[in-house]
Amino acid sequence: MYHKTLSYRIFNTLNTSGLILLAIVCIIPLWHVLAISFSAKSAADANLVGLWPVDFTTEAYKKTINNPVFLGSILVSIKRTIIGTAITLVLAFLAAYPLSKESTVFKARTIYAWIFVFTMVFNGGLVPFYIVIQKLHLMNSFWVLVLPGAVNVYLTILMLNFFRGIPKELEEAALIDGAGHFRTLFTIFLPVSLPAIATLALFSMVFHWNSWFDGLLYLHDAKSQPLATFLQTVVIQRDMSTMSMSPKEMELLSQKTVNAAQIFIGALPILVVYPFLQKYFVKGLVLGSVKE
Amino acid sequence: MKLLKRNWPFHLMILPSLIFLIVFSYVPMAWIVMAFQDFKPRLGISGSEWIGLDNFRYLFEREDSVQVILNTLVIAVLKMVANLIAPFTFAIFLNELRKMFVKRFVQTLVYLPHFLSWVILGGILVDILSTDGGFVNRIITNLFGIEPIFFLGDGTWFRITVVVTDMWKEFGFGTVVFLAALANVNPSLYEAAEVDGASRFKQTMHITIPSMIPITIVVGTLALGNILNAGFDQIFNLYNPLVYDKGDIIDTFVYRAAILNGQMGFGTAIGLFKSVIGMILIVISYRLAYKLAGYRIF
């Protein structure tokens, strides 16, 4: 038994401690930012904060929460996440059913599959897309965050792979009983697909919550931008016009602590659903890669 | 006709997705003709002047755009190699952990950055990599007594930073496919090796690693399709004019040229160049993955 040899036991101890250390190192940057967000301005500015808050205060969070632009952007993010995910799920659920059929059953399936997959390998690029958004008058409209990405081909393929795993007898029984395809889809397929739909929903929610570039490109009013775009302009581009701070308040709070608080709040929803993400994303990957 | 009649629910189910794909994927493809024009938005396609392949010639004559293509290739290839080797190695070591709660703990922490956007991670990195008392530079100066490093202000360091931080974000989650492959290894292989007196190292070399080879080939070949994708989100949130010479990539260059400076035709041409090369590479890589490891998407 190799488990009992001295050399393996030494390796095991080193390996275990090494991996734990590596895992902690991976998380330290986030931890450090969390510590800054709870520190006093003077300590943060003097670079005294390491892994623990110095002169603990929640001032930065109070200021962040009191910024109406910040709050508004959270609402935009929530709205786009809910509406966007709902639309994507409905479209993927509907399209995956016929696409999961064999081409002997549904002849046009092959053509449709090509139309879908081709969009994954080729696209017009940023500029033509930008022009089309302009022509559709979607500029500065909330719907620009939701409609262009409504069809997610990757998620549709995940869904169709899941459908293929459903026993054919279930569907045949329903069809013989005289149910149409729509009825089969909603009464037979929907109930058994709920775990897969949950996986797709999580994928889509994370995508929407994290998306920032569309907000930057197509929404020019800070008040209508989602949180990720707000963070991009304030934290990365350091555009202070949306911060609504008086000079006196600026003195009170270093930009550093407020930025840290904003970053942490932006990451919070992901952290909250993280236990589910870990489980379902792994499932999704397996769903996408394991086929008959 | 009879077939169509029986299948009308199928067509109806696909129709909504089809409309979205046409409007937001296929209509933009038609606008690619801008790449052959000196496109002026107020003149439109019909009013703008046709200039043939001038935009493409311009692309290969301008020093900055050639540099940008080069930067993209260098950064993308380095990332590709790093993001194959790191999860591969990490999965082998992770697979040796016997205590489930330790394994779970390590996985939970290293998977996390994958789910955070580059805006969040960029905000964190800009802060901790700052030369003005950033956390990382504080540690470096205290530990080694050297000058702070310009991680995001020096071209060469910028490239290194981009590759390493991308590895930080993705190596953990990248192990998922490798661990799935390892979970499928028949335990009797290890038992037989045990009976023959093979050490754990020998078992790793002759059972664990060979069983990861097929999935490694798939991951590696599929990554080929991304050779012109150096990671727009990451670069855009980390770069600044100081590192344009070595850190600017095709996507960020297009954004600045077309959206900020209004060179629509030129921007479209670069985008088209990238899309065509990307498509060819994707087709080749999927063919390769199918040939080498029998991989299919559906």
pLDDT of the residue at A19: 95
CA dist A63 and A13 (Å) reads 47
Closest CB to B32 among A22, A124, A185:
A124
| Amino acid (one-letter) located at A106 | F
Is A266's Cβ below 8 Å from some Cβ in B? yes
Q: What is the mean pLDDT of chain B?
A: 90
Q: Which residues of A touch B16 (CB under 8 A)?
A: 90-91, 94-95
Of A24, A95, A130, the CB nearest to B109: A24
A138: nearest CA partner in chain B: B24
> pTM of the predicted model, to two decimals?
0.89
CB of B127 within 8 Å of a chain A CB? The answer is: yes
* Contact criterion met (CB < 8 Å) for B24 and A182: no
Q: Is A216 on the interface with B (CB under 8 A)?
A: no
3-state secondary structure of B49: strand
Burial of B102 (0-12, 13-18, 19+ CB in 10 A): middle
User: Which among B248, B252, B274 has a CA at the least distance from the CA of B64?
Assistant: B248
Residue of B nearest to A264 (CA): B120
Q: Is the pLDDT of residue B2 over 50?
A: no
Question: In the predicted model, is pLDDT for residue B39 greater than 90?
Answer: no
How many beta-carbon contacts under 8 Å exist across A and B? 266
Tell which wins on pLDDT, A281 or B109: B109
- Secondary structure (3-state) at A67: coil
Hey, is the C-beta of B202 within 8 angstroms of any chain A C-beta? Answer: no
Q: Is it the case that residue B99 has pLDDT exceeding 70?
A: yes
Report DSSP letters for B219-254, one per residue: HHHHHHTTTT---HHHHHHH--GGGHHHH--HHHHH
Contact B117 A36 (CB under 8 A): no
B123 touches chain A (CB under 8 A): yes
Which among A122, A231, A277 has the least Cβ separation from residue B115? Answer: A277
Q: Which residues does chain A have within 8 Å of residue B6's beta carbon, measured at their own beta carbons?
A: none
What is the Cβ-side half-sphere exposure of residue B82, based on CA atoms within 13 angstroms? 21
Whether A26 contacts B112, CB under 8 Å: yes
Exposure pattern of B168-196 as b/e (b: 16+ CB <10 Å)?
A: bbbbbbbbbbbbbbbeeeeeeebeebeee
CB spacing of B117 vs A212 below 8 angstroms: yes
Q: What percent of chain B has pLDDT over 70?
A: 98
CA dist., res. B25 & res. A128, Å (int): 10
- Tell me the CA distances in angstroms from B292 to A287, B134, B182, B217, one per residue in order: 22, 46, 19, 7
Superfamily for domain range A67-291: MetI-like (1.10.3720.10)
What one-character DSSP code corresponds to residue A241?
G
Q: Which residue has the higher pLDDT, A137 or B183?
A: A137
User: pLDDT value at position A217?
Assistant: 93
Residue A66: is its pLDDT beyond 60? yes
Which pair of structure tokens corresponds to residue B12? 């109806």
Amino acid residing at A71: L
Q: State the average pLDDT over residues B70-79.
A: 95
- Per-residue pLDDT, A248: 53
Give how far A29 is from chain B: nearest CA, Å. 7
Q: Are A16 and B97 in contact (CB under 8 A)?
A: yes
For residue A176, give the amino acid letter: I
Residues B110-125, mean pLDDT to the nearest whole number? 94
| Contact residues on chain B for A182, CB-CB shorter than 8 A | 9, 13
Name A142's Cβ contacts closer than 8 Å, sequence gap at least 6: A76, A79, A80, A224
- Please report the pLDDT score of residue A277 as a whole number: 78
Nearest to A228 among B27, B119, B176 (CB): B119
Q: Quick one: what percent of chain A has pLDDT higher than 70? A: 89
Condensed to tens digits (0 to 9), the pLDDT of residues B193-236 reads: 988 888 888 888 999 999 999 889 888 888 888 888 999 999 99
User: Token pair 């399709």 is at which residue?
Assistant: B225
Nearest alpha carbon to residue A235 among A196, A268, A271, A261: A261
Burial (0-12, 13-18, 19+ Cβ within 10 Å), A143: middle
Q: Residue B19: pLDDT band by 50, 70, 90 thresholds?
A: very high
Instruction: Kindly give, in sequence order, each residue whose CB lies less than 8 Å from that of residue A287, ignoring residues fewer than 6 positions away.
Output: A158, A161, A162, A196, A199
**Is residue B118 within 8 Å of residue A211, measured between CB atoms?**
no
pLDDT, one tens digit per residue, over A246-280 is 555 555 455 888 999 999 999 999 998 888 877 77
Q: B107: buried, middle or exposed (CB in 10 Å: 19+, 13-18, 0-12)?
A: buried
- Residue of B124, B202, B277, B284 to mutate, testing the A interface (most A Cβ within 10 Å of its Cβ): B124
Phi, psi of B247 (to 5 degrees): -115, -10
Nearest CA in chain A to B14: A95
B23 lies within 8 A of chain A by CB: yes
Rg of the Cα trace of chain B? 24
Distance from CA of A246 to the nearest CA of B (A): 23
Domain map of chain A by residue range? Answer: 20-57, 67-291
Question: Alpha-carbon distance B165 to B160, whole Å?
Answer: 8
Contacts of A232 (CB under 8 A, 6+ apart): A212, A215, A216, B119, B237
Probe site for chain B from A52, A127, A152, A272 (most B CB atoms < 10 A): A127
Predicted ipTM of the assembly = 0.88
Mapping DSSP to helix (H, G, I), strand (E, B) and coil, where does residue B133 land?
coil
* Contact between B9 and A182 using a beta-carbon 8 Å cutoff: yes
Q: What is the pLDDT confidence band of residue B147, given thresholds at 50, 70 and 90?
A: confident
- B164 CB within 8 Å of a chain A CB: no
pLDDT of the residue at A247: 55
**8 Å CB contact of A285 and B138:** no
Long-range contacts of B180-186 (CB under 8 A, 24+ apart): B180/A285, B180/A286, B180/A289, B180/B215, B181/B211, B181/B212, B181/B214, B181/B215, B182/B91, B182/B95, B182/B208, B182/B211, B182/B212, B184/B211, B185/B211
Give yes or no for a contact between A105 and A172, defined as CB atoms under 8 angstroms apart. no
Q: What is the pLDDT of residues A194-244, one digit of tens each?
A: 888 988 999 899 999 999 999 999 999 888 999 999 999 888 876 655 555
- pLDDT band of residue B4 (cuts 50, 70, 90) is very low
Closest CA–CA distance from residue A22 to any residue of chain B (Å): 8
Q: Give B162 to chain A, closest Cα distance, Å.
A: 15
Nearest CA in chain A to B118: A210
> How far, in Å, CA of B231 to CA of A3, rounded?
43
Q: Which one-letter DSSP state was computed for residue A180?
A: -
Q: Which long-range contacts (CB under 8 A, 24 or more apart) does B45-54 make?
A: B48/B265, B51/B265
Q: Is a pLDDT exceeding 50 seen at residue A291? A: no
3-state SS class at A124: coil
Which of B113, B258, B298 faces A157 most closely, judged by CB atoms?
B298
Q: What is the CATH number of domain B54-124+152-293?
A: 1.10.3720.10
Distance from CA of A144 to the nearest CA of B (A): 11
Q: Rounded to an integer, what distance in angstroms lies between the CA atom of residue B254 and that of residue A67?
A: 34
DSSP string, A31-64: HHHHHHHTS-HHHHHTT--SSS-SS---HHHHHH
- CB-based contact B271 A286, cutoff 8 Å: no
Chain A partners within 8 Å of B26 (Cβ): 119
Q: Are B120 and B248 in contact (CB under 8 A)?
A: no
Interface list for A 42-101 with B (CB within 8 A) = 46-47, 50, 90-92, 94-95, 97-99, 101
Rounded CA gap, B182 and B204, in Å?
11
Q: Does A22 touch chain B (CB under 8 A)?
A: yes
pLDDT at A146: 96
Does position B5 have pLDDT exceeding 60, yes or no?
no
